[in-house]
Amino acid sequence: VATDPSPRAWGPRIVLDVRCGTGTYMRALARDLGELVGQHAFCEALRRTEVGSFTLGRSHEPDAVTWSDVRDAATLIDEAVPRLTIDAAAIDQVGLGARLPFPADRPELAGAPHLALVDADGSFVAMAEPTTDGTLLQPRSVFVDPPAPRVE
C-alpha cells in the first residue's frame, strides 16, 4: 500500500497491490474501503498483472503479436472445467448451435455447470452448459465455424 498525499480535487490517493481469486471486484473493494473510513472512494485505474499462468512479463503489446504467439483457446480454460472430446459430426452440430446429448458414459461430468468441448487433438471447440434436466449440452461460446452447406 502506498499513499500519495499530494492535493487533488478528489482527495488523497491509495495504491493497492492485491492478490485475489476469481470473483473479487476491485471497484467494489475501493468503494468499501472508502466507506470504512467514512469517505466516498472509487477505482481510478485498474491493472491486472496476472491471471493463472499468464503474466505481464509474458505478454506482448498488441502491435507486436505474431501468429507464433497465438495459442489454442484450450490453454486458457481453467483445469477445473471438465473437458469432453467430441467427434467431427458433433463439432458440425455445435457449429450450428445445436444441443448435444449429455454423455451417459461420463457420469463424473454430471453436476458440472460448464463443460469445455474439444476435438480429438484437444483443440477448443466450445463451452457448453447442461440443460436443467441434465440430458443435453447447450453450446454457449462457440469457436468453430458452421459446416459448409452441402450442394447436391
Q: In this predicted model, what pLDDT tens digit does every residue of 21-34 receive, in sequence order? A: 878 899 999 999 99
Q: Identify which of 47-56, 100-109, 143-152 has the greatest average pLDDT.
A: 100-109
List CB contacts of 11: < 8 A, sequence separation 6 or more.
Answer: 39
The mean pLDDT value of the chain amounts to 86
Q: In this predicted model, what pLDDT tens digit does every residue of 57-70 receive, in sequence order? A: 888 888 998 988 88
In whole angstroms, what is the distance from residue 140 CA to residue 125 CA?
11
pLDDT of residue 9: 63
In whole angstroms, what is the distance from residue 19 CA to residue 48 CA?
10
Indicate the residue type of 138: Q
Does residue 118 surpass a pLDDT of 90? yes
Q: What percent of the chain has pLDDT over 90?
A: 39
pLDDT of residue 8: 59
pLDDT of residue 129: 94
Q: In this predicted model, what pLDDT tens digit does every residue of 45-101 receive, in sequence order? A: 888 888 777 788 888 888 998 988 887 777 777 777 899 999 999 999 999 999 999
Q: Rounded to the nearest 5 degrees, what angle is found at the Cα of 142, between the Cα atoms of 23 and 112?
A: 50
pLDDT of residue 28: 94
